[in-house]
Amino acid sequence: MCCLHRPIQLSPGLSALLRTMISPGDKRCMSAIFDHPHQANYSSLYHSPETAEKMHYRENTTEAILKHAEQNGGWLKEYNDTTCSREYLDACHAGKIENGNVTIQISLNGAQLYADKDSDCWIFIYVIHNLPPDLWYKKCFVIPAGFIGGPKKPKHTDSYLYPTLSHISALQKEGLKIWDAWAHSYIPKSIPFLMLVTANGPAMTDACGNVGHSGKCGCRLFCALSG
């Protein structure tokens, strides 16, 4: 038995890695998702002293920002990073984000493989915000999160993102013990914190469920501006 228009399990051993979308009356696989668990990738960034030191950028920068704000009436010296955002600093102050946690961004976008063929696919990646901003989008630090094959646009993008978000949720509950080669000690419970979900206009419509940029109220921040 399978549910049409929903991901179904193909193999017990690949329940979190491979899911398919079936069209009504069509037994062929129309779209498949390859979900790539991220914990092994971001934990490996702590295994080298050089990259582990870079992974402490967020903690060191946050400490410096909070110290400067405390000495200057709450004002920041400059706004040049996600660590300067009020939401992030409030989360740190409330203890939701602690030292050893990994702040991540999920970015989703579509890509056309051939110029003259209907061969779209959708790719989503992890961007690690513990690293300095100039390293976020370096190839060696971008972690593949998943791949949705075409040729047609997925009807329920949120169902494809579900395995990834479910995996993050599980790690937020259980945590991950990581060896920090720079500090020569274990991080007893590293928890991923989903900081941002980014996409272009059409892809963000699928990610957040809004009407899109062409709708009357298309702002995903739910402002009152129409058009």
Of the listed ranges 24-38, 69-83, 173-187, the one predicted with least confidence: 24-38
Average pLDDT over residues 43-71: 92
Q: What is the pLDDT of residues 131-179, one digit of tens each?
A: 999 999 999 899 888 888 777 777 777 777 888 888 888 888 888 899 9
- 3-state helix/strand/coil string of the chain: CCCCCCCEECCHHHCCCEEEEECCCCCCEEEEEEECCCHHHHHHCCCCHHHHHHHCHHHHHHHHHHHHHHHCCCCCCCCCCHHHCHHHHHHHHCCCCCCCCEEEEEEEEEEECCCCCCCEEEEEEEEECCCCHHHCCCCCCCEEEEEECCCCCCCCHHHHHHHHHHHHHHHHHHCEEEEECCCCEEEEEECEEEEEEEECHHHHHHHHCCCCCCCCCCCCCCCCCCC
pLDDT for the residue numbered 8: 34
pLDDT for the residue numbered 16: 43
Q: What is the pLDDT of residues 27-53, one digit of tens each?
A: 444 455 555 555 667 888 999 999 999
C-beta of residue 122 within 8 angstroms of C-beta of residue 157:
yes
Average pLDDT over residues 91-107: 91
- The pair of three-digit structure tokens given for residue 56, joined into one six-digit string: 């402490």
Across the chain, mean pLDDT equals 78
Angle between helices 86-93 and 57-71 (to 10 degrees): 90
Which carries the bigger pLDDT value, residue 34 or residue 116?
116
pLDDT for the residue numbered 219: 72
pTM listed for this prediction? 0.76
pLDDT for the residue numbered 119: 65
pLDDT for the residue numbered 3: 30
Q: What is the pLDDT of residues 2-34, one digit of tens each?
A: 233 333 333 333 344 444 443 444 444 445 555
Whether 102 has a pLDDT exceeding 90, the answer reads yes
